[in-house]
Amino acid sequence: MANSLQSLFGAIASARDEEELRQHVMVKVGEYFVAHRWGLFFFDKLPPVDSNLPSIVKRALSVEHNPVLRYVVEQHAPVHEELLLPAGVWKIICPRSDHGHVMAGPIVSNGHLVGGVGFTRVRGTDPFNTRNLADLCALCLHLSTWLTKIQSQPALFNSPNINRLTPREIEIAELVAQGLTSAEIGAALWITENSVKQALKRMFRKLEVSSRAELVGRLFSNTKLSPSKEHAAYTKLSF
C-alpha cells in the first residue's frame, strides 16, 4: 500500500487543525483501507436529524437500526458488519451498493465518545477483515490523542502566526511553552539538541522575535497560560 501505518500516524500527529485532518489525512487513510467512501465525524458538529431526511439516512444514523453504529457507541471499539451480522443481513439493513461493506471506529476524549470514522466498500469487493480492524484500532487511538492535544492547546493552534511554522516547529513551540530546555526538547522529539537550536533560530526569524519569551507570547497571544507553564516558559529562555 502507498501509505504505511506509521506514515499515517505521523500525518495525524502533524495535522494542524480539523480541516487539514479531514481534507488531507483522511484521504490517505481511506486509500490505505481501499475504501470507496470514508468520513470523519465529531458529534458536536453534526446537524440534528431532520424528520424529512430519507428513511435510509435516518436508519443509518439510528443506534436502534444500525448495529455497526450501536457497537461503536456502546463498546467504544472498531467493528465491521461481518463481525455482527449473518451473511446477507447487512444488505437488508443498508441496500446502498456503495455501502456493501462498512467499518467504523470511535474517537474518544476524557472517557467519552465524541466522534468516529467510517469506511465503506462497494458490494462485490472484499469485505474488511481482522487486519483492517486492528489497524483501525491503532488509528483511532492516534486520532483520539490528536484531538486531546488540539483541545489542550487552543491558543497555539488558533493563533494566525501558527501558519508560518512547519509541523515539527509547532511541536517544538509546544514544548518551549511548557518550559523545556533545548536538550529536553531534543530528547522528547528524538532529535539532537543542536537541531532544536537551529529550528528555534528559524522560528525566531519567521515570527520576527528574538527570544523564547517573545515566541511564546506571539503564539499564545489569545489566552493566558496556566501559572506553572507561564513561569516555566518565561524563565527558561536559553537555547
Q: Identify whether residues 80 and 9 lie together within a single domain.
A: yes
Task: Tell me how long the chain is.
Answer: 239
Q: Which triple of cell numbers denotes residue 43?
A: 458529534
Range of the domain at 85: 5-152
According to the model, what pLDDT value does residue 54 have?
A: 61
Q: Identify whether residues 180 and 138 lie together within a single domain.
A: no
CB atoms within 10 A of CB 233: 22
Model confidence pLDDT, tens digit, residues 56-107? 656 666 778 889 999 999 999 999 999 999 988 999 888 889 999 999 999 9
Query: Read out DSSP for 98-164?
Result: GGSEEEEEEEEETTEEEEEEEEEE-TTSPPP-HHHHHHHHHHHHHHHHHHHHHHH-HHHHH-GGGGG
Handedness of CA 16, 146, 187, 239 (dihedral sign): positive
Q: Identify whether residues 148 and 159 lie together within a single domain.
A: no
- Please indicate, yes or no, whether the overall pTM of this predicted structure exceeds 0.75: no
Confidence of residue 35 (pLDDT cuts 50, 70, 90): very high
Q: Identify whether residues 141 and 213 lie together within a single domain.
A: no
Task: Decide if 113 contacts 76 (C-beta within 8 A).
Answer: yes
Is the pLDDT at 2 greater than 60? The verdict is no
Is the pLDDT at 153 greater than 90? The verdict is no
Amino acid making up residue 236? K
Show which of 152, 170, 190 is a domain's final residue. Answer: 152
Q: How many domains does the chain have?
A: 2
Q: Identify whether residues 172 and 83 lie together within a single domain.
A: no
Q: Identify whether residues 117 and 50 lie together within a single domain.
A: yes
* Interhelix angle 212-219/227-235, nearest 10 degrees: 140
Q: Identify whether residues 142 and 160 lie together within a single domain.
A: no
Is the pLDDT at 178 greater than 70? The verdict is yes
Q: For position 215, which CATH number holds?
A: 1.10.10.10
Q: Identify whether residues 130 and 159 lie together within a single domain.
A: no
